[in-house]
Structure 1
Amino acid sequence: MREARQRWAGVLRAHGWFPHVPLALLLAGGGLKMLHADLGQDWQRYLALVMEGQFDQHPALLPPLLIGLGQLTMSVGLLMRSRLAWTMASLLSIAALASLLFGVHRNVPMAIYSALVLLALLASWQTFDRSSLAASTLFAFTSVVMLMMYATLGSYYLGAQFSPPITDLVTAFYYATITMTTVGYGDIVPHTPESRLFAVSVVVLGVAVFATSLTAVVSPMIKRSLQRIVNQKGRTMKRKDHYVVIGNTSLAINTWRELAKRGQSVTRLLRDAPAEGELSDVDIVVGDSSDIDVLRQAGAHEAKAVLAMRDDDAENAFTVLAAKELGGTARTVAAVNDARHLSRIKLVQPDVIIAPQVLGGELTAMLLTGEKVTADFVLQRVFQ
């Protein structure tokens, strides 16, 4: 069952839209439904009241309003496969589930919907691996602003349940800030169960949002710096009339070694930088092989051939498309790891399709049953 699920996921991912597009639509739909269910068709009017500082007239609107707007915002990030957007979407789904089960307007069907969205997000966490600096900064800023609104407005709404009471927005902003940063001077203390639970939620969300946002913004910067350091060595090599071998699979490694034995110039393109001391004498470029700028850095437009040999057939297909878009005279070679993806790989029209793993089962059966195995048969099956 698990293998079948993985195969179907791989087939769907090959089209470049699953699962991030359906998840983004589900999250956005849940956000709109929450706004309409709790606030009615006039939720925009409630938003205007909040912006004008009149939210105390409708205190029950704060949680669904902020959660619904947050889900709508993060659905855009899911379309971009942003890791930060996935994290915030998961947290917002948990908040929506709690609000729908324990809030003023209980809604069991919507709670079940939010639970299913949360499970779908958790099951597809590996898909959201993009961490571009621009997108991460945007969604980090959005997350911090929304958390600050939640903490400030909530503190003001529950002001009478603190000692001394919080009676103005400035004091509410001050309390929200020192609580989120876990400073806690102790000059304002919650003294009811409701206000204490609210303070706990602010601390938990504050730590989660700030830690995630900082990681999402700093990580791409560090990764780019490491890539520049690793790629600097390659600039001393003239990348022309060479081979670009993409991936770190057994097939990619063996192909690189055999080409090197024959005196050919080879540039390896890896997603992650190798450990210090490894491949020190090899020309390496680190980055996303489906990114045209990374392929250009590897000299793909002036190479003899670009060999996409990663373990993900969808990534190999995207790499071939990017290499063709880049132009040049390089031949494109695509490796196929699953026979079910063979027809889809052919759609991107690589010059050569190599499918050694597809051959294994058929060749074993032929040997065991005494059928004749010829060199032409092997070449035909391996090189489609």
Structure 2
Amino acid sequence: MKILNKIHHQVLATYILALLVAHNGYLILSPTLHRVLQNAPGRVDNFTSWHEALSFLETMDIPRFMIGVVLIFMAFTLLMRTRIAWFSSLLLLLCIVLINFFIFKENVVLVVYSLITIGGLLFYWRNFDQHSLGSTSIFAVIGIASLIVYGMLGTLYIGNQFSPEVTDLPTAFYFAIVCMSTVGFGDIIPHTTLARMFTLTVIIFGITIFAASVASIASSLISDNVQRIIKGRFSHVVRKNHYIIAGSSSLAQSVYKGLIDTGGEVTVVCTSGNKQHFPDTADVIEGDPSAITTLKLAGADKAKYIVALTDSDADNAFIVLAAKEIGGDDTKTISLVNESQNMNKIKRVRPDAVLSLQQLGSELLVRSLNGNTITNDLNMDMFFGSDKSGAK
């Protein structure tokens, strides 16, 4: 598979899936939005209560509308390739399928469209492997804000089913926050089955969103450090002026040993399950070597070199792209080329140096067969495939 085509394919797939999710959100909220635009102008100056103003809405219009809005926001977060946005989009789309198919038994086209989008998200799940504090914070803000709006609108819509009645925005906002936080002062009480069920949904969603937000943010901050403390390797958390070797190939193992033997500080980044290829004392991070969060954890912004030494040229290209995005101003990148025909493709991602063992071996063999003496003036630029136009 060609490296550049694979890169373009993954980027294109991510954009298409984000567009499909956003379009699903629009299709979900458009009927309610259309009804609002039709009825709102004639009611703005004439309604005497919020229940009267929202009486043109159906029972499930508000939650469906909020799901549509959140899906549109999730589409933008999907462009960041975050796993939490991927999972949230899947969950919301599945809710819409269940609501339309089993409860209302209508809108088969939207159900099929949502299932196609779900299939696409599941098929390209590897594209969404990023975990960052920023994306988690965005998810938390969107989730909490959406739940507040849902709680306020629902409370105003069935305000006459509470005791005392809820007739204004501040009181609805207060009741929504009290339910979300599960404080339960008891000054506003639902006295009908519908109001009680609605209150339960706000409480359940509130517990879920708060718990998921706190857990996601906290885990992003402390999980990796806690893991190192438990393993007695806290000294490796701070990394500076070191080498990062991405991959667990035989060459990566040899380069690691050589750097350690010469007194270098080395951090290895390899996929899960390949840690055993390195000594127990090695500073090894298991994860996706091409993920920005993984390289950031390895201290890529303060590294001297980031060396991509996997057995896949495509993976090496992705590692270089991620390294150039997160690396410091003085950080250099070197990429291994396993197949000589991929040399030009690797150069297009602009590493500082490209190492081709095939080219190195062939040059040494040709010189030996021709009887040439291999001396210190051997042109190493040829072996590293350096390209001045492709260097930083």
TM-score (ref. length: structure 2):
0.65
CA distance in 2, matches of 1:123, 1:143: 26
CA distance in 2, matches of 1:105, 1:166: 33
The aligned residue for residue 198 of structure 1 is 198
Give the match's secondary structure for 1:351. strand
Give the match's secondary structure for 2:11. coil
Q: What does 1:50-199 correspond to in 2, within 5 Å?
A: 56-60=54-58, 61-101=61-101, 106-162=106-162, 165-184=165-184, 188-189=189-190, 191-192=192-193, 194-199=194-199
Cα deviation 1:301-348 (Å, max 9, x = unaligned): xxxxx4313577544213234567867796723366x99989855654
Q: Residue 264 of structure 1: CA displacement?
A: 6.3
Q: Residue 67 of structure 1: CA displacement?
A: 2.1
Q: Residue 74 of structure 1: CA displacement?
A: 1.2
CA distance in 1, matches of 2:331, 2:157: 66
Q: Is the 8 A contact 2:82 2:131 kept in 1?
A: yes
Q: Residue 68 of structure 1: CA displacement?
A: 2.0
Give the match's secondary structure for 1:245. strand
The aligned residue for residue 332 of structure 1 is 334
Cα deviation 1:228-273 (Å, max 9, x = unaligned): 95545544xx64xxx54223x3536623454257646352243799
CA distance in 1, matches of 2:286, 2:235: 7
Residue 351 (1) aligns with residue 350 (2):
no
The aligned residue for residue 270 of structure 1 is 269
Cα deviation 1:267-290 (Å, max 9, x = unaligned): 224379999xx9675467899666
The aligned residue for residue 4 of structure 1 is none
TM-score (ref. length: structure 1):
0.66
1:27 maps to amino acid: V
Structure-2 change in CA distance of 1:130 and 1:323 (3 Å): closer
Cα deviation 1:192-241 (Å, max 9, x = unaligned): 2x444434433332233222222332233225866995545544xx64xx
Structure-2 change in CA distance of 1:344 and 1:126 (3 Å): same
Q: Is the 8 A contact 2:70 2:146 kept in 1?
A: yes
CA distance in 2, matches of 1:119, 1:131: 22
Q: Is the 8 A contact 1:234 1:284 kept in 2?
A: no
CA distance in 2, matches of 1:143, 1:18: 27
Give the match's secondary structure for 2:54. helix
The aligned residue for residue 297 of structure 1 is 302
CA distance in 2, matches of 1:121, 1:339: 34
Q: Residue 107 of structure 1: CA displacement?
A: 1.8
CA distance in 1, matches of 2:251, 2:86: 32
Cα deviation 1:13-49 (Å, max 9, x = unaligned): 56541543222100111122223344339759969x8
Q: Is the 8 A contact 1:14 1:313 kept in 2?
A: no
CA distance in 1, matches of 2:72, 2:209: 17
Comparing 346-355 with 127-136, which one deviates more in the overlay? 346-355
Which structure has the greater CA radius of gyration? 2
Equivalent residues, number: 338
Q: Is the 8 A contact 1:230 1:284 kept in 2?
A: no
TM-align CA RMSD:
4.9
The aligned residue for residue 364 of structure 1 is none
Unaligned runs of 5+ in 2: 359-363, 367-383, 386-392
Unaligned runs of 5+ in 1: 1-6, 301-305, 356-374, 378-382
CA distance in 2, matches of 1:178, 1:12: 50
